Chains A and B, each alone.
Chain A
């Protein structure tokens, strides 16, 4: 019996490592921007190209920056969650239409509902790069001083909203 003990222990350790590995999301790369000032940007707005949105305008408010695109499949999944959340009017949600065609973006908002306070257009993806966007959708929580406090990669689920994002917004808004 004793001669099996060592391989068995080694096997158990291996299984433990693999089990933990399975629960980790390799796409969830920690962002170096958390705790740092959000990159400043000025972009034109989707519904009125003559108007611009500057991130500096949001100073003094807690806000969400949601990076989305009409070509993004998982955005479709998170969209109803955002629409529902927008109804509470808790914080402004600024959309960043990432590498999209204006017409497609507008059509998407018309058919699926518009949760955004306003949508800024990042057609060449440069602002996306400044924010370290690598997989749309991504959502950033930015505080009153313009510091990025959280990044959520992938679709916002009701669970992530209730457990992570909302409590953070609550504590930041105080």
Chain B
């Protein structure tokens, strides 16, 4: 009887353990906190294959691998900055959607403001020129009378 009970408990134990073995490898994505941080970081990064898509949204194979890499870097306890540096060291500033401000990116960061300043200057210049051109025309007395009679007619 004792033996039977032992076998029974052994079976119970094995049946409880086995499903854990038979399950597929638990993906790192199961960790919600890691996943959130991974998404936060990968939204800052460009997918090198699609170029106009961020790493979080891209379905390219490389993007998959890089997301996996980010997950394992997070698991290794790296900070966000360290992970960004990891990517920049391999793929260059181009991988970042917000590249650092430095001489090679001055035009990139300042360009829009330069264009806007240029547009404003042109606008002011054109408006000033126009004001000169559309100055109220001088009318002679005859023309004034004619204009008044025309306006009366329309009434």
Which A residues form the contact surface with B (CB < 8 A)?
26-27, 29-33, 99, 124-126, 128-132, 134-135
Find out whether the CB atom of A32 lies under 8 angstroms from the CB atom of B89. Answer: yes
Find out whether the CB atom of B90 lies under 8 angstroms from the CB atom of A132. Answer: yes
Known pairs A129-B65, A129-B66, A129-B69; A134 contacts B92 (CB<8 A): no
| B-side interface residues, number (CB < 8 Å) | 15
* B12 contacts A by Cβ under 8 Å: no
Contacts of B91 in A (CB 8 A): 29, 31-32, 132, 134
Known pairs A129-B65, A129-B69, A134-B62; A32 contacts B88 (CB<8 A): yes
* Additional A-B contacts beyond A29-B94, A32-B90, A129-B90 (10; CB < 8 A): A26-B51, A27-B51, A33-B90, A99-B61, A125-B62, A126-B65, A128-B65, A129-B69, A130-B90, A132-B90
Contacts of A131 in B (CB 8 A): 90
Whole-angstrom distance between the alpha carbons of A129 and B88 in the complex? 11
* B39 contacts A by Cβ under 8 Å: no
Whole-angstrom distance between the alpha carbons of A130 and B89 in the complex? 9
Find out whether the CB atom of A30 lies under 8 angstroms from the CB atom of B92. Answer: yes
Nearest opposing residue in chain B for A26, CB measure = B51
Q: Least Cβ distance of A10 to chain B in Å?
A: 10
Contact with A along B116-145 (1 / 0, CB 8 A): 000000000000000000000000000000
* B114 contacts A by Cβ under 8 Å: no
Which B residues form the contact surface with A (CB < 8 A)?
48-49, 51, 61-62, 65-66, 69, 88-94
Whole-angstrom distance between the alpha carbons of A130 and B48 in the complex? 14
Find out whether the CB atom of B66 lies under 8 angstroms from the CB atom of A135. Answer: no
Q: Which of A29, A31, A33, A130 neighbours the largest number of chain B CB atoms within 10 Å of its CB?
A: A29
Nearest opposing residue in chain A for B60, CB measure = A134
Nearest opposing residue in chain A for B63, CB measure = A134
Q: Least Cβ distance of A160 to chain B in Å?
A: 21
Contacts of B65 in A (CB 8 A): 99, 124-126, 128-129
21 contacts between A and B (CB under 8 A): A27-B51, A29-B91, A31-B91, A31-B92, A32-B88, A32-B89, A32-B91, A32-B92, A33-B89, A124-B65, A126-B65, A126-B69, A128-B65, A129-B65, A129-B69, A131-B90, A132-B91, A134-B49, A134-B62, A135-B48, A135-B49
Contacts of A31 in B (CB 8 A): 91-92
Contacts of B90 in A (CB 8 A): 32-33, 129-132
Q: Least Cβ distance of A124 to chain B in Å?
A: 8
Contacts of A26 in B (CB 8 A): 51
Contacts of B69 in A (CB 8 A): 126, 129
Contacts of A126 in B (CB 8 A): 65, 69
Q: Least Cβ distance of B92 to chain A in Å?
A: 4
Find out whether the CB atom of A29 lies under 8 angstroms from the CB atom of B88. Answer: no
Contacts of A130 in B (CB 8 A): 90
Contacts of B66 in A (CB 8 A): 129
Contacts of A32 in B (CB 8 A): 88-93
Whole-angstrom distance between the alpha carbons of A27 and B89 in the complex? 18
Q: Least Cβ distance of B118 to chain A in Å?
A: 11
